[in-house]
Structure formats: structure tokens, C-alpha cells
Amino acid sequence: MSKALGLVIGLMVLLAGTGAAYAAGPGGGAVRADGTRIASAAAQAPRDHGNDNASVVGVPYCANINVSADCWTWIKTTSGTPCPTGHFCIYTNVLAAEGGKVFSFFHCRRGGSDWVLRAWNGVGLYDNSNTGGAHAFIKGAAHNVLVNVAPGTDGSYDFRPAYYVQAC
């Protein structure tokens, strides 16, 4: 019996010395042998794609983007926030679980001008849910077309060179 107990204690000391053995903590994270906590993957902060302060000039906040208007809302991290039919949307992050904002455009342009992007400095997502064959365009500083987005198309895009959006 004492031989078995000595073997168990020896293994515990060996594992504690390598830092490889972790016990579950009360919050679901792990606790190292020295008592320090390790956050679980679910508790870690979402990845920053560089668009945290992104905005679009003239696009106000709304709680629900399923309206006949141009507005933005927070992305639902549990289920995502789909782009409504008849809209062109751009998302500040690639994955819904990362949160961020979704900008939903119902009108092609703001007045007669392209929509102006501010602080889009990283990778996001676009989704063209326009109907009737309307393409959307992501444009550069000189209003040159960077991406021609066909209806029913979505994808990730590095918005760093983008300055404008024409939603249809």
C-alpha cells in the first residue's frame, strides 16, 4: 500500500513540476498546480480584426436592422445577425462569435454620394442580399471599384484600402 501511495505522490510531483496538470476551476477555467488560473477558450476576449471603431458616415444605430432604412446594430454573438433581404451589409468582424457591428444599407447611396467608411482598418465581412440583380461595390479613395459584389454573394475582405461603399 505504501509503495502505491509513494508512486501516486511521485507522479503528482512530476506533473506539478512540468506545469502540465491542471484542475478545473470554479469558473470552468483551469487552475495550475501553483494556483494561477487559466481562462477557458470561451472566456477569452474575441479576436480584434482592426475594425473596432469602424463607422459609416450618416448611418445611425437601430436595434433591429430588418427595416427599410440604413442603420447599424450589434452582431448577435450566439446566432449571428443575417443581412436582411434587399440590403447590402458589411460586418466589422468575420465570425459572429467575435461580435462587433453590422452596417445594413437599404439605399444605394447617401443622397447622391457613396457611403463614406471611417476607421475600417482590417478584415471584415460583406453580404449582398440585394434583390433584382443589384450589385454592390466596395470602393477605394478615388471611388475606384475594389470589389464588385454580385447579389447573393458574401465573403471576407480586408477593408484597409476601402473608403466608400455603393450599396446597389
Distances in whole angstroms, Cα of residue 132 to Cα of each of 108, 113, 152, 153, 162: 13, 22, 11, 13, 25
Per-residue pLDDT, 28: 40
pLDDT tens-place string over residues 141-154: 999 999 999 999 99
pLDDT tens-place string over residues 85-121: 999 999 999 988 899 999 999 999 999 899 999 999 9
Give the C-alpha separation, 162 to 103, whole Å. 15
Mean pLDDT (whole number) for 13-30:
38
Per-residue pLDDT, 12: 40
Per-residue pLDDT, 39: 41
Q: Is the pLDDT of residue 8 over 70?
A: no
pLDDT tens-place string over residues 69-88: 999 999 999 999 999 999 99
Q: Which of 93, 98, 87, 79 is nearest to 62 (CA)?
A: 87
Assign 24 a pLDDT band (cuts: 50, 70, 90). Answer: very low
Mean pLDDT (whole number) for 43-61:
77
Per-residue pLDDT, 10: 42
Contacts 24+ apart (CB under 8 A), 80-84: 82/127, 82/129, 83/127, 83/128, 83/129, 83/154, 84/129
Per-residue pLDDT, 2: 44
